[in-house]
Chain A
Amino acid sequence: MAQLNAQGQPYEDDAPEPEAPAPAAATASTDALDDLLAEIDGSLQVNAEQFVRSFVQKGGQ
């Protein structure tokens, strides 16, 4: 089996670098969020109240 993280190596090197936000990022992500909401809106509206109420389960730990 391959080593997931060879010891002694900084494993962060394997992780992708956090992307620097592009200048237009705020607008772009605003649009992406609106697009996503538009897409799921239909399914969220169907019997929302009944759907939510039917999720009842005993507590865990």
Chain B
Amino acid sequence: MLSTDIPPPLDVDPARRIFGLETEFGLHLDTGAARPVTPEEVAGHLFHSVVQWGRSSNVFLPNASRLYIDVGAHPEYATAECDTLTDLIAYDKAGERIVHDLVAGGEERLRAAGVEGTIHLYKNNTDSAGNSYGCHENYLVRRRADFKAFASALLPFLVTRQIVAGAGTITRTPSGAHYSFSPRADHMWEGLSSATTRSRPMINTRDEPHANAELYRRMHVIVGDSTMAEPTTLLKVGATDLILRLMEARVVLPELTLAREMQAIRDVAHDLSGKATVELADGRRLTAVEVQQQYIDLVRSHLGGVIAPTEEVDRILDLWQRGVDAVRTQDFSGVETELDWAIKHRLVMRYRERLGCDLDDARLARLELAFHDVSPERGVFSRLQDQGLARRIVSEADIQRAMTVAPQTTRARLRGAFVTRALESGRDFTVDWVHLKIAGSSGTTVLLKDPFRTEDARVDALLDALNPA
């Protein structure tokens, strides 16, 4: 039985947006065990404690985020709905801690099963054989009839965004190795599609808003790299949000339609010099620097109009410009503590100097994995942060709180309260992005269609029902 007293949708300021990040982690067992151990077996041990309390390896957490094992035995964490970028960064970082907290228990269970080894979880996008997994960005947008054209218009921005938001990687080829902007770029097969695993598009157009479908759609961007540095995540999501805001205000974007998106994304990725050009549909050839500069200039021209000036917008524009300038001038020092590709480039090149080796040396590949290792002890990124070599945006306290407490300014508040109370009560329950239900009772299913609503009498009633009388 579905509750019928659904409150009307809230009237929301167009500048407010719901964001979410989904991260698939690389799962690696380092072991000398004689028998082969599959990633599925490792994932099973890793999630044993989750299944114990959640009765499933696919759960929603008290912080309202989702944790599960995805295709290919990848642990995946999807942040709760956030309506600020700082919240989004805190919940994304909290996810790294949450999956890391499973490692010790997983290693212990493997040991009990006769396998001595170390489990590594990588927030990266490729394994050593070149298989890819993703970091998906979600932007709630207002529904419109021309969604496909709307999504297509974002592609020139997304194809070239990697020169500032890319994670950077050593690319190995038969003729040697070079450093590229994005590990994900080579795995993109088309611009738009409603499928994700068979055909990997830059934007997934499956119509699944997880919200009132008359009002909203979800822009599901799957071309981006997983990012370690908080300022990179701010820029990746923040710049995309700014472009979406202009598009939603019906601002006409510069005509930058690409002739061949798949060729363009690869050409940009593999040219750290920034000199490679992409061909536009109208025959012009521009560099990624020139394309990104047009977007920066466009946003600047609408500051105070469509885009309300805030400190955060200034911060995004400042980093965006410095990122583009770094590529244009080939002096990366201006962003080497803020943008993933530059932070890692500096680290890798310095280690290479130290070793006096070629770029395809296995020790540099080993360093790359260590960079993405989410472990506070084994991971190199957290060491860089501690040394001030990678800047932060949110505080340690924000991340700690985000591990257990839901965002308070979106629907996540309701889900977080329900999951927390239901776990305390010991009652079985079912929950997803839009539904809450106490199981085993004749109780109602509460449908939460408005992702901006933080108060709901129906949820209060559910919480009361979970309270011991």
Which chain B residues have a beta carbon within 8 Å of chain A's beta carbons? 24, 26-31, 39, 70-74, 76, 84, 86-87, 90, 120, 122, 127-129, 131-134, 136, 187, 196-197, 200, 222, 310-312, 315, 333, 337, 346-347, 350-351, 354, 362-363, 365-367, 369-370, 380, 383-384, 387-389, 391-395, 398, 401, 405-409, 413, 417
Shortest distance from the beta carbon of A23 to any chain B beta carbon, whole Å: 14
A3-B408, A32-B388 known; A57 vs B132 contact (CB < 8 Å): no
- Give the docked Cα–Cα distance between A34 and B148 (Å): 49
A1-B408, A10-B311 known; A58 vs B86 contact (CB < 8 Å): no
Task: Name 26 A/B residue pairs within 8 A (Cβ), A-sorted.
Answer: A1-B417, A4-B405, A4-B408, A4-B409, A11-B87, A11-B312, A12-B312, A15-B395, A29-B387, A29-B389, A32-B387, A35-B387, A36-B387, A37-B350, A44-B367, A54-B29, A54-B31, A57-B28, A57-B73, A58-B39, A59-B197, A60-B133, A61-B70, A61-B133, A61-B136, A61-B200
Which one of A13, A26, A49 has the highest number of Cβ atoms from chain B below 10 Å of its Cβ?
Answer: A49
Query: Contact mask A35-61 → B, CB, 8 Å, 1/0?
Result: 111001100110011011111111111
Whether a CB of chain B sits under 8 angstroms from the CB of A27 is no
Cβ-defined contact, A57 with B127, below 8 A: yes
Shortest distance from the beta carbon of A4 to any chain B beta carbon, whole Å: 5
Given the complex, which residues of A lie within 8 Å of B367, measured CB to CB? Answer: 40, 44
7 tightest Cβ-Cβ pairs between the two chains A and B: A60-B133, A58-B72, A49-B362, A59-B131, A48-B366, A55-B28, A12-B311
Which one of A12, A32, A34 has the highest number of Cβ atoms from chain B below 10 Å of its Cβ?
Answer: A12
Given the complex, which residues of A lie within 8 Å of B200, measured CB to CB? Answer: 61
Which one of A5, A41, A53 has the highest number of Cβ atoms from chain B below 10 Å of its Cβ?
Answer: A5
Which residue of chain A is the closest to B30 with respect to CB atoms?
A51
Shortest distance from the beta carbon of B452 to any chain A beta carbon, whole Å: 11
Given the complex, which residues of A lie within 8 Å of B337, measured CB to CB? Answer: 29
